[in-house]
Homo-oligomer: A and B are copies of this chain.
Amino acid sequence: MSEPQPARSAPDAPSSDTEESPGLSMELVFAVQDALAEERVTEIEDLVPGLHEADAADLLETLNRDERKLLVEILGSTFDPEILPNLDVSVREEVIEWLGPTGLARAVTELDSDDAVEVFEDLDEEFQHRILSQLPQAHRMILEEGLSYPEDSAGRLMQREFVVIPSAWTVGETIDYMRAAKDLPDDFYDLYIVNPKHHPIGFLPLSRVMRTKRHVRLTEFMETDLKTIPLTMDQEDVAYLFRQYGLVSAPVVDDAGRLLGVITVDDVVHIIDEEAGDDIMKMGGVSEPDLYSAVLDTTKARFTWLVVNLLTAILASLVISLFDATIEQIVALAVLMPIVASMGGNAGTQTLTVAVRSLAMKDLTEANATRFIGKELLIGTINGVLFAVLAGGVTWLWFESLSLGIVIAAAMVINMVVAGLSGTLIPLGLEKVGVDPAIASSVFLTTVTDVIGFFAFLGLAAAFLL
Protein backbone atom coordinates (compact mmCIF):
# COMPACT_ATOMS: atom_id res chain seq x y z
CA MET A 1 0.00 0.00 0.00
CA SER A 2 1.29 3.46 -0.80
CA GLU A 3 0.78 6.19 1.76
CA PRO A 4 1.53 9.72 0.53
CA GLN A 5 1.18 12.54 3.06
CA PRO A 6 -2.37 13.60 3.84
CA ALA A 7 -3.58 16.53 1.81
CA ARG A 8 -4.37 19.90 3.36
CA SER A 9 -8.01 20.41 2.58
CA ALA A 10 -10.69 18.17 1.19
CA PRO A 11 -14.45 17.74 1.45
CA ASP A 12 -15.81 15.24 3.94
CA ALA A 13 -16.27 11.61 3.05
CA PRO A 14 -19.73 10.51 1.91
CA SER A 15 -21.77 8.75 4.59
CA SER A 16 -21.32 5.00 4.32
CA ASP A 17 -24.83 3.83 5.15
CA THR A 18 -24.70 1.03 2.62
CA GLU A 19 -26.46 -1.41 4.96
CA GLU A 20 -29.33 -2.04 2.56
CA SER A 21 -29.00 -4.11 -0.60
CA PRO A 22 -27.13 -2.29 -3.37
CA GLY A 23 -28.64 -1.01 -6.60
CA LEU A 24 -32.03 0.53 -7.33
CA SER A 25 -34.05 1.05 -4.12
CA MET A 26 -37.64 -0.08 -3.77
CA GLU A 27 -38.54 3.31 -2.27
CA LEU A 28 -37.49 5.00 -5.49
CA VAL A 29 -39.49 2.55 -7.61
CA PHE A 30 -42.60 3.18 -5.54
CA ALA A 31 -42.03 6.96 -5.59
CA VAL A 32 -41.76 6.93 -9.39
CA GLN A 33 -44.86 4.74 -9.67
CA ASP A 34 -46.81 7.17 -7.48
CA ALA A 35 -45.58 10.17 -9.45
CA LEU A 36 -46.47 8.45 -12.74
CA ALA A 37 -49.94 7.53 -11.51
CA GLU A 38 -50.66 11.21 -10.89
CA GLU A 39 -48.51 12.43 -13.80
CA ARG A 40 -46.43 14.68 -11.53
CA VAL A 41 -43.95 15.44 -14.30
CA THR A 42 -41.52 17.69 -12.41
CA GLU A 43 -41.16 15.12 -9.64
CA ILE A 44 -40.19 12.49 -12.24
CA GLU A 45 -37.75 14.88 -13.85
CA ASP A 46 -36.15 15.20 -10.41
CA LEU A 47 -36.04 11.50 -9.63
CA VAL A 48 -35.01 9.75 -12.84
CA PRO A 49 -32.34 11.60 -14.84
CA GLY A 50 -29.85 11.45 -11.91
CA LEU A 51 -29.94 7.64 -11.88
CA HIS A 52 -27.07 5.54 -13.15
CA GLU A 53 -28.05 4.14 -16.57
CA ALA A 54 -28.10 0.56 -15.22
CA ASP A 55 -30.47 1.54 -12.40
CA ALA A 56 -32.65 3.51 -14.82
CA ALA A 57 -32.85 0.37 -16.97
CA ASP A 58 -33.90 -1.69 -13.93
CA LEU A 59 -36.53 0.93 -13.13
CA LEU A 60 -37.98 0.72 -16.63
CA GLU A 61 -38.04 -3.08 -16.45
CA THR A 62 -39.80 -3.07 -13.08
CA LEU A 63 -42.59 -0.71 -14.19
CA ASN A 64 -45.54 -2.12 -16.06
CA ARG A 65 -46.02 -1.35 -19.74
CA ASP A 66 -48.24 1.73 -19.32
CA GLU A 67 -46.01 3.28 -16.66
CA ARG A 68 -42.97 2.54 -18.79
CA LYS A 69 -44.45 4.23 -21.85
CA LEU A 70 -45.43 7.29 -19.85
CA LEU A 71 -41.96 7.56 -18.34
CA VAL A 72 -40.25 7.36 -21.74
CA GLU A 73 -42.61 10.05 -23.05
CA ILE A 74 -41.93 12.33 -20.09
CA LEU A 75 -38.16 11.91 -20.41
CA GLY A 76 -38.41 12.65 -24.12
CA SER A 77 -35.19 14.00 -25.55
CA THR A 78 -33.49 13.80 -22.13
CA PHE A 79 -33.72 9.98 -22.32
CA ASP A 80 -30.17 8.72 -21.73
CA PRO A 81 -29.16 6.44 -24.67
CA GLU A 82 -26.82 4.51 -22.34
CA ILE A 83 -29.95 3.00 -20.77
CA LEU A 84 -30.71 1.04 -23.97
CA PRO A 85 -27.88 -1.55 -23.88
CA ASN A 86 -28.74 -2.17 -20.21
CA LEU A 87 -32.34 -3.18 -20.96
CA ASP A 88 -33.53 -6.75 -21.46
CA VAL A 89 -34.42 -7.42 -25.08
CA SER A 90 -38.21 -7.42 -24.86
CA VAL A 91 -38.35 -4.16 -22.89
CA ARG A 92 -35.70 -2.63 -25.15
CA GLU A 93 -37.84 -3.35 -28.22
CA GLU A 94 -40.79 -1.51 -26.68
CA VAL A 95 -38.71 1.50 -25.69
CA ILE A 96 -37.12 1.72 -29.13
CA GLU A 97 -40.55 1.70 -30.71
CA TRP A 98 -41.60 4.64 -28.51
CA LEU A 99 -38.37 6.53 -29.23
CA GLY A 100 -39.03 6.19 -32.96
CA PRO A 101 -36.42 6.17 -35.74
CA THR A 102 -35.29 9.77 -35.10
CA GLY A 103 -34.88 9.27 -31.37
CA LEU A 104 -33.04 6.01 -31.91
CA ALA A 105 -30.76 7.47 -34.58
CA ARG A 106 -29.73 10.15 -32.09
CA ALA A 107 -29.15 7.52 -29.41
CA VAL A 108 -27.05 5.29 -31.66
CA THR A 109 -24.85 8.23 -32.59
CA GLU A 110 -24.06 8.84 -28.93
CA LEU A 111 -23.26 5.23 -27.97
CA ASP A 112 -19.91 3.45 -28.24
CA SER A 113 -19.77 1.24 -31.31
CA ASP A 114 -20.15 -2.05 -29.41
CA ASP A 115 -23.19 -0.79 -27.51
CA ALA A 116 -24.73 0.63 -30.68
CA VAL A 117 -24.38 -2.77 -32.39
CA GLU A 118 -25.91 -4.49 -29.37
CA VAL A 119 -28.94 -2.20 -29.37
CA PHE A 120 -29.28 -2.51 -33.10
CA GLU A 121 -28.81 -6.21 -33.80
CA ASP A 122 -32.15 -7.45 -32.45
CA LEU A 123 -34.31 -4.97 -34.40
CA ASP A 124 -36.24 -6.19 -37.42
CA GLU A 125 -34.63 -5.50 -40.78
CA GLU A 126 -37.05 -2.87 -42.03
CA PHE A 127 -36.64 -0.83 -38.84
CA GLN A 128 -32.85 -1.20 -39.11
CA HIS A 129 -32.91 0.21 -42.66
CA ARG A 130 -35.05 3.18 -41.65
CA ILE A 131 -32.65 4.10 -38.88
CA LEU A 132 -29.50 3.50 -40.92
CA SER A 133 -30.74 5.95 -43.54
CA GLN A 134 -30.96 8.66 -40.88
CA LEU A 135 -27.43 8.16 -39.56
CA PRO A 136 -24.30 10.07 -40.55
CA GLN A 137 -22.08 8.10 -42.96
CA ALA A 138 -19.36 7.22 -40.41
CA HIS A 139 -21.81 5.79 -37.88
CA ARG A 140 -23.68 3.90 -40.55
CA MET A 141 -20.51 2.19 -41.72
CA ILE A 142 -19.50 1.14 -38.22
CA LEU A 143 -22.94 -0.32 -37.56
CA GLU A 144 -23.09 -2.12 -40.89
CA GLU A 145 -19.64 -3.55 -40.34
CA GLY A 146 -20.54 -4.71 -36.83
CA LEU A 147 -23.70 -6.41 -38.08
CA SER A 148 -21.72 -8.21 -40.79
CA TYR A 149 -20.03 -10.42 -38.17
CA PRO A 150 -21.79 -13.56 -36.91
CA GLU A 151 -24.12 -13.21 -33.93
CA ASP A 152 -22.43 -13.73 -30.54
CA SER A 153 -19.00 -13.36 -32.16
CA ALA A 154 -16.05 -11.26 -31.06
CA GLY A 155 -16.71 -8.93 -34.02
CA ARG A 156 -20.06 -7.96 -32.55
CA LEU A 157 -18.60 -7.40 -29.09
CA MET A 158 -15.58 -5.33 -29.96
CA GLN A 159 -15.29 -1.62 -29.62
CA ARG A 160 -13.80 0.14 -32.62
CA GLU A 161 -12.54 2.97 -30.40
CA PHE A 162 -9.13 2.10 -28.95
CA VAL A 163 -5.56 3.31 -28.66
CA VAL A 164 -2.73 1.97 -30.82
CA ILE A 165 0.84 3.14 -30.55
CA PRO A 166 3.58 2.60 -33.16
CA SER A 167 6.42 0.43 -31.92
CA ALA A 168 9.08 3.17 -32.13
CA TRP A 169 7.49 5.50 -29.60
CA THR A 170 8.77 6.36 -26.12
CA VAL A 171 6.69 6.85 -22.98
CA GLY A 172 7.01 10.62 -23.36
CA GLU A 173 5.83 10.62 -26.99
CA THR A 174 2.91 8.39 -26.00
CA ILE A 175 1.79 10.65 -23.15
CA ASP A 176 2.10 13.77 -25.30
CA TYR A 177 0.08 12.12 -28.06
CA MET A 178 -2.67 11.11 -25.64
CA ARG A 179 -2.84 14.60 -24.16
CA ALA A 180 -3.24 16.12 -27.64
CA ALA A 181 -5.50 13.55 -29.34
CA LYS A 182 -9.18 14.39 -29.51
CA ASP A 183 -10.70 11.12 -30.72
CA LEU A 184 -9.63 8.66 -28.01
CA PRO A 185 -12.20 6.48 -26.19
CA ASP A 186 -13.45 7.72 -22.80
CA ASP A 187 -11.77 5.02 -20.76
CA PHE A 188 -9.20 2.39 -21.66
CA TYR A 189 -6.91 0.14 -19.69
CA ASP A 190 -4.22 -1.14 -22.05
CA LEU A 191 -2.23 0.38 -24.89
CA TYR A 192 -1.63 -1.79 -27.96
CA ILE A 193 1.68 -1.54 -29.75
CA VAL A 194 1.48 -2.31 -33.47
CA ASN A 195 4.04 -2.91 -36.22
CA PRO A 196 3.83 -1.19 -39.64
CA LYS A 197 1.44 -3.87 -40.88
CA HIS A 198 -0.88 -2.89 -38.01
CA HIS A 199 -0.35 -6.25 -36.33
CA PRO A 200 -0.42 -6.04 -32.52
CA ILE A 201 3.00 -7.06 -31.19
CA GLY A 202 2.51 -6.24 -27.51
CA PHE A 203 0.46 -4.39 -24.95
CA LEU A 204 1.01 -2.29 -21.86
CA PRO A 205 -1.31 -1.75 -18.92
CA LEU A 206 -1.57 2.03 -18.38
CA SER A 207 -0.24 1.71 -14.83
CA ARG A 208 3.11 0.48 -16.15
CA VAL A 209 3.39 3.25 -18.73
CA MET A 210 2.66 5.76 -16.03
CA ARG A 211 5.37 4.46 -13.73
CA THR A 212 8.05 4.54 -16.40
CA LYS A 213 10.40 7.44 -17.26
CA ARG A 214 9.66 9.51 -20.39
CA HIS A 215 12.69 8.47 -22.43
CA VAL A 216 12.01 4.70 -22.30
CA ARG A 217 10.66 3.04 -25.46
CA LEU A 218 7.44 1.07 -25.09
CA THR A 219 8.92 -1.96 -26.84
CA GLU A 220 11.52 -2.19 -24.08
CA PHE A 221 9.00 -3.11 -21.39
CA MET A 222 5.83 -4.12 -23.21
CA GLU A 223 4.14 -7.47 -22.55
CA THR A 224 4.41 -9.72 -25.60
CA ASP A 225 2.20 -12.54 -24.31
CA LEU A 226 -0.82 -11.18 -26.20
CA LYS A 227 -4.07 -13.14 -26.18
CA THR A 228 -5.38 -12.06 -29.58
CA ILE A 229 -9.00 -12.84 -30.39
CA PRO A 230 -10.07 -13.70 -33.94
CA LEU A 231 -13.10 -11.77 -35.24
CA THR A 232 -15.24 -14.89 -35.47
CA MET A 233 -14.48 -16.33 -32.02
CA ASP A 234 -17.67 -17.21 -30.12
CA GLN A 235 -18.44 -15.01 -27.13
CA GLU A 236 -18.34 -18.02 -24.85
CA ASP A 237 -14.70 -18.58 -25.79
CA VAL A 238 -13.99 -14.86 -25.40
CA ALA A 239 -15.41 -15.02 -21.87
CA TYR A 240 -13.29 -18.09 -21.19
CA LEU A 241 -10.10 -16.25 -22.22
CA PHE A 242 -10.87 -13.25 -20.00
CA ARG A 243 -11.71 -15.45 -17.04
CA GLN A 244 -8.80 -17.83 -17.50
CA TYR A 245 -6.14 -15.16 -17.93
CA GLY A 246 -7.63 -12.36 -15.81
CA LEU A 247 -7.71 -10.01 -18.81
CA VAL A 248 -8.98 -6.44 -18.61
CA SER A 249 -8.98 -5.91 -22.35
CA ALA A 250 -7.94 -7.93 -25.39
CA PRO A 251 -7.26 -7.08 -29.04
CA VAL A 252 -9.46 -8.41 -31.85
CA VAL A 253 -7.68 -9.19 -35.13
CA ASP A 254 -8.79 -10.11 -38.64
CA ASP A 255 -7.56 -13.11 -40.66
CA ALA A 256 -4.43 -11.24 -41.65
CA GLY A 257 -3.64 -10.52 -38.00
CA ARG A 258 -4.46 -6.78 -38.23
CA LEU A 259 -5.84 -5.06 -35.14
CA LEU A 260 -9.51 -4.13 -35.72
CA GLY A 261 -10.95 -3.53 -32.28
CA VAL A 262 -10.78 -4.17 -28.57
CA ILE A 263 -13.01 -6.11 -26.17
CA THR A 264 -13.11 -4.85 -22.58
CA VAL A 265 -13.88 -6.73 -19.39
CA ASP A 266 -17.13 -4.87 -18.60
CA ASP A 267 -18.74 -6.42 -21.68
CA VAL A 268 -17.37 -9.82 -20.77
CA VAL A 269 -18.86 -9.65 -17.28
CA HIS A 270 -22.28 -9.46 -18.91
CA ILE A 271 -21.52 -12.39 -21.16
CA ILE A 272 -20.39 -14.58 -18.28
CA ASP A 273 -23.65 -13.81 -16.54
CA GLU A 274 -25.63 -14.40 -19.69
CA GLU A 275 -23.98 -17.74 -20.46
CA ALA A 276 -24.37 -18.99 -16.88
CA GLY A 277 -28.00 -17.85 -16.90
CA ASP A 278 -28.56 -19.54 -20.25
CA ASP A 279 -27.29 -22.83 -18.84
CA ILE A 280 -29.55 -22.57 -15.80
CA MET A 281 -32.52 -21.81 -18.03
CA LYS A 282 -31.76 -24.58 -20.49
CA MET A 283 -31.44 -27.14 -17.71
CA GLY A 284 -34.80 -26.01 -16.37
CA GLY A 285 -36.36 -26.46 -19.80
CA VAL A 286 -36.90 -22.76 -20.40
CA SER A 287 -35.88 -20.95 -23.56
CA GLU A 288 -37.83 -17.71 -23.41
CA PRO A 289 -35.89 -14.50 -23.99
CA ASP A 290 -36.41 -12.94 -20.54
CA LEU A 291 -38.60 -12.22 -17.54
CA TYR A 292 -40.38 -9.42 -19.37
CA SER A 293 -41.46 -11.18 -22.56
CA ALA A 294 -45.17 -11.40 -23.30
CA VAL A 295 -47.34 -14.22 -21.94
CA LEU A 296 -48.01 -15.76 -25.35
CA ASP A 297 -44.33 -15.75 -26.38
CA THR A 298 -43.42 -17.37 -23.09
CA THR A 299 -46.18 -19.96 -23.31
CA LYS A 300 -45.11 -20.89 -26.82
CA ALA A 301 -41.45 -21.16 -25.82
CA ARG A 302 -42.27 -23.52 -22.98
CA PHE A 303 -44.83 -25.56 -24.90
CA THR A 304 -42.28 -27.34 -27.09
CA TRP A 305 -40.33 -28.57 -24.10
CA LEU A 306 -43.48 -29.82 -22.40
CA VAL A 307 -44.50 -31.71 -25.55
CA VAL A 308 -41.18 -33.54 -25.49
CA ASN A 309 -41.83 -34.33 -21.85
CA LEU A 310 -45.31 -35.60 -22.60
CA LEU A 311 -43.85 -38.01 -25.14
CA THR A 312 -41.30 -39.37 -22.68
CA ALA A 313 -44.00 -39.68 -20.01
CA ILE A 314 -46.14 -41.66 -22.45
CA LEU A 315 -43.13 -43.88 -23.17
CA ALA A 316 -42.83 -44.56 -19.45
CA SER A 317 -46.56 -45.36 -19.34
CA LEU A 318 -46.11 -47.84 -22.16
CA VAL A 319 -43.49 -49.63 -20.07
CA ILE A 320 -45.90 -49.76 -17.13
CA SER A 321 -48.72 -51.07 -19.34
CA LEU A 322 -46.55 -54.08 -20.23
CA PHE A 323 -47.06 -55.15 -16.62
CA ASP A 324 -50.71 -54.28 -16.07
CA ALA A 325 -51.59 -57.88 -15.30
CA THR A 326 -48.89 -57.97 -12.61
CA ILE A 327 -50.11 -54.70 -11.09
CA GLU A 328 -53.67 -56.00 -11.06
CA GLN A 329 -52.48 -58.84 -8.83
CA ILE A 330 -50.14 -56.81 -6.62
CA VAL A 331 -51.41 -53.23 -6.27
CA ALA A 332 -48.49 -52.41 -3.97
CA LEU A 333 -46.35 -52.27 -7.12
CA ALA A 334 -48.31 -49.25 -8.37
CA VAL A 335 -47.85 -47.61 -5.00
CA LEU A 336 -44.10 -48.17 -4.91
CA MET A 337 -43.00 -47.83 -8.52
CA PRO A 338 -42.70 -44.00 -8.51
CA ILE A 339 -40.07 -44.29 -5.75
CA VAL A 340 -37.67 -46.26 -7.94
CA ALA A 341 -38.13 -43.97 -10.93
CA SER A 342 -37.84 -40.76 -8.93
CA MET A 343 -34.72 -41.78 -7.00
CA GLY A 344 -33.01 -42.71 -10.29
CA GLY A 345 -34.06 -39.41 -11.81
CA ASN A 346 -32.73 -37.39 -8.90
CA ALA A 347 -29.43 -39.26 -8.59
CA GLY A 348 -28.95 -38.95 -12.35
CA THR A 349 -29.72 -35.24 -12.26
CA GLN A 350 -27.00 -34.73 -9.64
CA THR A 351 -24.41 -36.39 -11.86
CA LEU A 352 -25.74 -34.62 -14.92
CA THR A 353 -25.54 -31.21 -13.28
CA VAL A 354 -21.88 -31.71 -12.36
CA ALA A 355 -21.11 -32.96 -15.87
CA VAL A 356 -22.90 -30.14 -17.69
CA ARG A 357 -21.34 -27.44 -15.52
CA SER A 358 -17.87 -28.98 -15.76
CA LEU A 359 -18.17 -29.21 -19.54
CA ALA A 360 -19.23 -25.55 -19.71
CA MET A 361 -16.26 -24.54 -17.56
CA LYS A 362 -13.91 -26.73 -19.62
CA ASP A 363 -13.01 -28.66 -16.45
CA LEU A 364 -14.27 -31.91 -17.91
CA THR A 365 -12.24 -32.90 -20.97
CA GLU A 366 -11.16 -35.94 -22.96
CA ALA A 367 -8.16 -36.25 -20.69
CA ASN A 368 -10.16 -36.85 -17.53
CA ALA A 369 -13.50 -38.15 -18.90
CA THR A 370 -12.75 -41.80 -18.12
CA ARG A 371 -11.80 -40.95 -14.56
CA PHE A 372 -15.00 -38.91 -14.16
CA ILE A 373 -17.20 -41.71 -15.51
CA GLY A 374 -15.50 -44.22 -13.20
CA LYS A 375 -16.02 -41.96 -10.19
CA GLU A 376 -19.71 -41.38 -10.95
CA LEU A 377 -20.28 -45.07 -11.53
CA LEU A 378 -18.77 -45.80 -8.12
CA ILE A 379 -20.89 -43.10 -6.45
CA GLY A 380 -23.99 -44.47 -8.18
CA THR A 381 -23.19 -47.95 -6.91
CA ILE A 382 -22.55 -46.86 -3.32
CA ASN A 383 -25.67 -44.69 -3.16
CA GLY A 384 -27.60 -47.40 -4.99
CA VAL A 385 -26.75 -49.96 -2.31
CA LEU A 386 -27.51 -47.50 0.52
CA PHE A 387 -30.90 -46.57 -0.88
CA ALA A 388 -31.67 -50.18 -1.77
CA VAL A 389 -31.32 -50.99 1.93
CA LEU A 390 -33.44 -47.98 2.95
CA ALA A 391 -36.20 -48.46 0.36
CA GLY A 392 -36.17 -52.24 0.82
CA GLY A 393 -36.47 -51.84 4.59
CA VAL A 394 -39.32 -49.36 4.38
CA THR A 395 -41.16 -51.63 1.93
CA TRP A 396 -40.67 -54.72 4.09
CA LEU A 397 -42.10 -52.92 7.13
CA TRP A 398 -44.90 -51.20 5.23
CA PHE A 399 -46.20 -54.15 3.19
CA GLU A 400 -44.89 -56.86 5.51
CA SER A 401 -43.32 -58.65 2.57
CA LEU A 402 -39.61 -59.40 2.56
CA SER A 403 -39.66 -60.52 -1.07
CA LEU A 404 -41.26 -57.23 -2.19
CA GLY A 405 -38.53 -55.43 -0.24
CA ILE A 406 -35.84 -57.44 -2.02
CA VAL A 407 -37.37 -56.69 -5.42
CA ILE A 408 -37.46 -52.93 -4.82
CA ALA A 409 -33.91 -53.03 -3.43
CA ALA A 410 -32.62 -54.80 -6.52
CA ALA A 411 -34.46 -52.38 -8.82
CA MET A 412 -33.03 -49.44 -6.87
CA VAL A 413 -29.43 -50.61 -7.29
CA ILE A 414 -29.95 -51.16 -11.02
CA ASN A 415 -31.61 -47.79 -11.59
CA MET A 416 -29.09 -45.78 -9.60
CA VAL A 417 -26.12 -47.36 -11.35
CA VAL A 418 -27.82 -46.68 -14.68
CA ALA A 419 -28.49 -43.11 -13.49
CA GLY A 420 -24.80 -42.55 -12.68
CA LEU A 421 -23.78 -43.90 -16.08
CA SER A 422 -26.40 -41.95 -18.05
CA GLY A 423 -25.68 -38.77 -16.10
CA THR A 424 -22.13 -38.85 -17.46
CA LEU A 425 -22.48 -40.55 -20.84
CA ILE A 426 -25.45 -38.51 -22.10
CA PRO A 427 -23.87 -35.04 -21.69
CA LEU A 428 -20.46 -36.27 -22.86
CA GLY A 429 -22.06 -37.88 -25.92
CA LEU A 430 -24.11 -34.77 -26.75
CA GLU A 431 -21.03 -32.56 -26.40
CA LYS A 432 -19.12 -34.94 -28.71
CA VAL A 433 -21.74 -34.67 -31.47
CA GLY A 434 -21.96 -30.90 -31.06
CA VAL A 435 -25.31 -30.60 -29.26
CA ASP A 436 -25.41 -28.32 -26.21
CA PRO A 437 -25.60 -30.74 -23.26
CA ALA A 438 -27.34 -28.14 -21.08
CA ILE A 439 -30.43 -28.13 -23.27
CA ALA A 440 -30.99 -31.77 -24.15
CA SER A 441 -29.40 -33.87 -21.42
CA SER A 442 -32.09 -33.86 -18.78
CA VAL A 443 -34.93 -35.06 -21.00
CA PHE A 444 -32.80 -37.99 -22.21
CA LEU A 445 -31.77 -38.74 -18.66
CA THR A 446 -35.24 -38.84 -17.12
CA THR A 447 -36.48 -40.93 -20.02
CA VAL A 448 -33.77 -43.48 -19.27
CA THR A 449 -34.28 -43.47 -15.50
CA ASP A 450 -38.09 -43.68 -15.81
CA VAL A 451 -38.02 -46.49 -18.35
CA ILE A 452 -35.31 -48.48 -16.56
CA GLY A 453 -36.83 -47.76 -13.15
CA PHE A 454 -40.31 -49.01 -14.06
CA PHE A 455 -38.99 -51.87 -16.16
CA ALA A 456 -36.56 -53.18 -13.54
CA PHE A 457 -39.03 -52.95 -10.67
CA LEU A 458 -42.10 -54.31 -12.43
CA GLY A 459 -40.07 -56.85 -14.42
CA LEU A 460 -38.41 -58.28 -11.30
CA ALA A 461 -41.76 -58.34 -9.56
CA ALA A 462 -43.38 -60.21 -12.47
CA ALA A 463 -40.51 -62.71 -12.52
CA PHE A 464 -40.18 -63.41 -8.81
CA LEU A 465 -43.38 -62.46 -7.02
CA LEU A 466 -46.06 -64.15 -9.08
A293 (CB) vs chain B CBs: closest residue: B375
Closest chain B CB from A382 CB (angstroms): 5
A30 close to B (CB within 8 Å): yes
Q: What are the residues of chain B within 8 A of A33 when measuring CB–CB?
A: 367
List which A1-43 residues lie within 8 A (CB) of chain B: 1-16, 18-19, 21-23, 26, 29-30, 33
The tally of residues in A whose CB lies under 8 Å from a CB in B reads 175
Closest chain B CB from A277 CB (angstroms): 6
Closest chain B CB from A113 CB (angstroms): 9
Q: Are B62 and A367 interface neighbours, CB within 8 A?
A: yes
> Which 9 pairs show the lowest CB-CB distances between chains A and B?
A13-B199, A284-B353, A276-B276, A7-B166, A10-B195, A334-B334, A10-B167, A7-B168, A246-B266
Known contacts: A269-B242, A272-B273. The answer to whether A305 contacts B350 by CB under 8 A is yes
List which A126-185 residues lie within 8 A (CB) of chain B: 160-169, 175, 177-179, 181, 183-185
A97 close to B (CB within 8 Å): no
Bound Cα distance from A229 to B327, whole angstroms = 63
Bound Cα distance from A240 to B342, whole angstroms = 36
A326 (CB) vs chain B CBs: closest residue: B331
Q: What are the residues of chain B within 8 A of A349 when measuring CB–CB?
A: 284-285
Q: Are A338 and B317 interface neighbours, CB within 8 A?
A: yes
Cβ contacts A178-208/B at 8 Å (1 or 0 each) = 1101011111110001111111110001111
Q: Are A9 and B168 interface neighbours, CB within 8 A?
A: yes
List which A192-228 residues lie within 8 A (CB) of chain B: 193-201, 205-213, 219, 225-228
Closest chain B CB from A210 CB (angstroms): 5
A295 close to B (CB within 8 Å): yes
Query: Copies per complex?
Result: 2
List which A72-97 residues lie within 8 A (CB) of chain B: 88
A387 close to B (CB within 8 Å): yes
Bound Cα distance from A61 to B21, whole angstroms = 37
Q: Are A4 and B166 interface neighbours, CB within 8 A?
A: yes
Cβ contacts A288-327/B at 8 Å (1 or 0 each) = 1001000100110011011101100110110011001001
Q: What are the residues of chain B within 8 A of A243 when measuring CB–CB?
A: 269-270, 273
A444 close to B (CB within 8 Å): no
Q: Are A209 and B207 interface neighbours, CB within 8 A?
A: no
Bound Cα distance from A274 to B342, whole angstroms = 29
Bound Cα distance from A6 to B343, whole angstroms = 67
A341 close to B (CB within 8 Å): yes
Q: Are B6 and A166 interface neighbours, CB within 8 A?
A: yes
A102 close to B (CB within 8 Å): no
Q: Are B280 and A246 interface neighbours, CB within 8 A?
A: no
Bound Cα distance from A427 to B310, whole angstroms = 25
A15, A61, A320 interface centre (most CB from chain B within 10 Å): A320
Task: Identify which of B209, B237, B276 contacts A22 (C-beta below 8 A).
Answer: B237
A353 (CB) vs chain B CBs: closest residue: B284
Write 23 A-B pairs (CB below 8 A) sorted by A numbering.
Answer: A1-B160, A2-B163, A6-B198, A10-B166, A10-B167, A10-B168, A13-B197, A16-B230, A16-B255, A19-B230, A62-B365, A178-B210, A189-B207, A189-B248, A269-B269, A276-B276, A281-B354, A284-B349, A288-B354, A302-B350, A303-B383, A316-B338, A328-B328
Q: Are B309 and A342 interface neighbours, CB within 8 A?
A: yes
A54 close to B (CB within 8 Å): yes
A109 close to B (CB within 8 Å): no
Known contacts: A233-B18, A253-B16. The answer to whether A346 contacts B285 by CB under 8 A is yes
Q: What are the residues of chain B within 8 A of A16 when measuring CB–CB?
A: 228, 230, 253, 255, 257
Q: A1-B160, A291-B364, A338-B450 given; name 18 further pairs at CB < 8 Å.
A: A2-B177, A4-B177, A6-B196, A7-B168, A8-B168, A9-B196, A12-B195, A12-B201, A21-B362, A52-B225, A178-B207, A179-B211, A246-B266, A269-B269, A272-B276, A302-B347, A310-B339, A333-B334
